[in-house]
Amino acid sequence: MSARRRRRGAAESGEHHQDERWMASYMDMVTVLMCLFIVLYAMSSTDAHKFAQLKDSLATGFGLVKSQKIDTASGIIVPPKDVGKDGELSNLQAATLEYDKLKALRDRINANLAAVGLQAKVDTTIDSRGLTVGLVSADTFFASNSTDLTPIASRILDRIAGPLNTVTYQVSIEGHADPRPPGQPFPTNWELSSGRATAVLRDLVERGGVRDTRVGAVGYGSARPIVPGSSDADFAKDRRVDIVVLSDKPDAIRALIPQLVAAGK
């Protein structure tokens, strides 16, 4: 009697477990339907950018592509090769920080010059070298065929020296000349361009207070023209002295700065 009851109980227990197996299939079906509705909702949007992000996310989740890092601050997708071992966006973040520092320095210099109406006398650019403050058209800064600074040149350099003293970058003073031969006492444009670069350096150090260990002067003669041409306007652009604030970051970081400049970050 007891044996029959045990067999009956075992059979009833087995039937009970078999009846519950439909729940697992039902849950799987509900999960698939939910995913389907999410995808359909996302596809109904006309935002192609968001759809592309969803597509990439699903592909990554199913292991079809390797994931990439996104710098949410700049909106730039960073390939895995640019991501540090610890997962940080080392190169891109460092380049962004460096670019921000150079922009801040440029803005301080421009504000100083604008306060006395002299901002139009210089050109400022940021590239992989750093920040270049171009003293364009040497006629504004030097007398003809001379290395002596004009009074307006001294005023401009005074406005530049202050911001330079707030940073620790090395500074290269680079003199340039147009291709026409200079007059006496300069045998070639090398002497003229290097003499003008040295005059700017001395003013920044002796009057502006820039530490002499941070600056150097070099003359390039007519070897590096801004624009190819032979008009007086072209020659005027080539007669210049550039104050180059040199970035101290590694090449891999500085190489990213032009991309940030082009992106208008």
CA distance 75 to 70: 7
Are 56 and 99 in a shared domain? no
Would you place residue 155 in the very low, low, confident or very high pLDDT band (cuts 50, 70, 90)?
very high
In a domain, 75, yes or no: no
Would you place residue 235 in the very low, low, confident or very high pLDDT band (cuts 50, 70, 90)?
confident
In a domain, 79, yes or no: no
Q: What share of the chain is helix, strand, coil (3-state, %, to 5)?
A: 55, 15, 35
Average pLDDT, the chain: 81
Segments forming the whole domain that contains residue 49: 2-67
Are 99 and 39 in a shared domain? no
Ranking 29-38, 49-58, 88-97 by mean pLDDT, the lowest is 49-58
Check residue 41 and give its pLDDT. 73
Six token digits for residue 207: 């009057």
Number of other residues whose CB lies within 10 A of the CB of residue 153: 21
**pLDDT score of 67 more than 50:** no
Check residue 74 and give its pLDDT. 45
Are 112 and 223 in a shared domain? yes
**pLDDT score of 238 more than 80:** yes
Its pTM stands at 0.66
Check residue 42 and give its pLDDT. 66
Are 154 and 246 in a shared domain? yes
In a domain, 77, yes or no: no
Is residue 118 within 8 A of residue 155, CB to CB? The reply is yes
Are 216 and 105 in a shared domain? yes
In a domain, 9, yes or no: yes
Mean pLDDT of 234-243: 86
**pLDDT score of 218 more than 80:** yes
Alpha-helical segments (H) within the chain:
2-19, 22-43, 48-61, 90-114, 151-164, 189-206, 232-238, 251-254, 257-262
Check residue 14 and give its pLDDT. 52
Q: Which has more confidence, 174 or 32?
A: 174
∠ Cα 235 241 246 (to 5°): 135
Mean pLDDT of 30-43: 77
CA distance 242 to 175: 6
Check residue 8 and give its pLDDT. 52
Are 15 and 140 in a shared domain? no
Are 129 and 231 in a shared domain? yes
In a domain, 83, yes or no: no
In a domain, 86, yes or no: no
Task: Using a pLDDT cut of 70, give the percent of the chain over it.
Answer: 72
CA distance 221 to 240: 10
In a domain, 74, yes or no: no
**Number of structural domains the chain divides into:** 2
Is residue 136 within 8 A of residue 235, CB to CB? The reply is no
Would you place residue 20 in the very low, low, confident or very high pLDDT band (cuts 50, 70, 90)?
low
**pLDDT score of 72 more than 50:** no
In a domain, 72, yes or no: no
**pLDDT score of 26 more than 70:** yes
